[in-house]
Chain A
């Protein structure tokens, strides 16, 4: 069965600190992996995607993610968090427009 697990519901980091958000997936075929961010009252914005090739992908706003097939993981990272990064982050897997989303990780940023 296809599914996405984001084990951390809430994470709090200090501004300027590094960040890693975890994502594990279960998918029967070649996974197409995505990270989205949602600010309050808004829709989801695409941060980055992975299909094939280099397992470290760069996205917008200084985010990157690493695909590890052996661990079925696609963790999101950022070297230095800014207060404006406070939002909810969703990992997704799917293709041809049927996506499975994780339950999300809410990021709080301490000044």
Chain B
């Protein structure tokens, strides 16, 4: 089975721009979660989608949004980029049905905002 695929691997954007990150989950997984990883804050939960519906949300401003398509692929959008948005953005998929379903992570998208 192919793993979780995130594209692109690297992005460089300027303050004020917007960006869209893409995630393709493992086949059969209906849940996709997004995390922001920074050296100072560690891994922080952004949101989780299950069957095209946002099921959980973290404490991030409205500039961060996401969506999930009928094939379970997901996109995350960040508008009006700030320097502090520079981070590794990790996508993870799971079956999303059982409480102990582990997350399977992609290799991330490294976003640099200049």
A residues near B (Cβ < 8 Å) are 32, 34, 36, 41-46, 49, 51, 90, 95-104
Which B residue's beta carbon lies closest to that of A39? Answer: B107
Indicate if the CB atoms of B94 and A51 lie closer than 8 Å.
no
Indicate if the CB atoms of A43 and B90 lie closer than 8 Å.
yes
Indicate if the CB atoms of A95 and B100 lie closer than 8 Å.
yes
Q: Within 8 Å CB of A42, what residues of B?
A: 107-108
Which B residue's beta carbon lies closest to that of A102? Answer: B42
Indicate if the CB atoms of B31 and A51 lie closer than 8 Å.
no
Q: Report the minimum CB–CB distance from B73 to chain A (whole Å).
A: 17
Knowing A96-B55, A96-B56, A102-B42 are in contact, say whether A46-B102 is a contact too (CB < 8 A): yes
Q: Report the minimum CB–CB distance from A8 to chain B (whole Å).
A: 14
Q: Report the minimum CB–CB distance from B86 to chain A (whole Å).
A: 16
Q: Within 8 Å CB of B102, what residues of A?
A: 34, 46, 49
Which A residue's beta carbon lies closest to that of B103? Answer: A99
Q: Within 8 Å CB of B50, what residues of A?
A: 97
Q: A36-B105, A43-B4, A44-B105 provided; 5 other pairs, C-beta below 8 A?
A: A96-B99, A99-B33, A100-B45, A101-B42, A104-B42
Indicate if the CB atoms of B100 and A51 lie closer than 8 Å.
yes
Q: Within 8 Å CB of A99, what residues of B?
A: 33, 45, 103
Taken together as a complex, chains A and B put the C-alpha atoms of A49 and B104 apart, in Å, by 13
Chain B, residues 24-55, CB within 8 Å of chain A (1/0): the string is 00000001010100000011010010100001
Determine which of B42, B43, B58, B104 lies in contact with A46 in the assembled complex, contact meaning CB atoms within 8 Å: B104
Q: Report the minimum CB–CB distance from B4 to chain A (whole Å).
A: 7
Q: Report the minimum CB–CB distance from B104 to chain A (whole Å).
A: 7
Indicate if the CB atoms of B55 and A97 lie closer than 8 Å.
yes
Q: Report the minimum CB–CB distance from A4 to chain B (whole Å).
A: 9
Taken together as a complex, chains A and B put the C-alpha atoms of A110 and B108 apart, in Å, by 29
Q: Report the minimum CB–CB distance from A44 to chain B (whole Å).
A: 4
Indicate if the CB atoms of A45 and B100 lie closer than 8 Å.
no
Indicate if the CB atoms of A90 and B99 lie closer than 8 Å.
no
Most buried by B among A43, A45, A90, A101: A43
Indicate if the CB atoms of B106 and A32 lie closer than 8 Å.
no
Which A residue's beta carbon lies closest to that of B95? Answer: A97
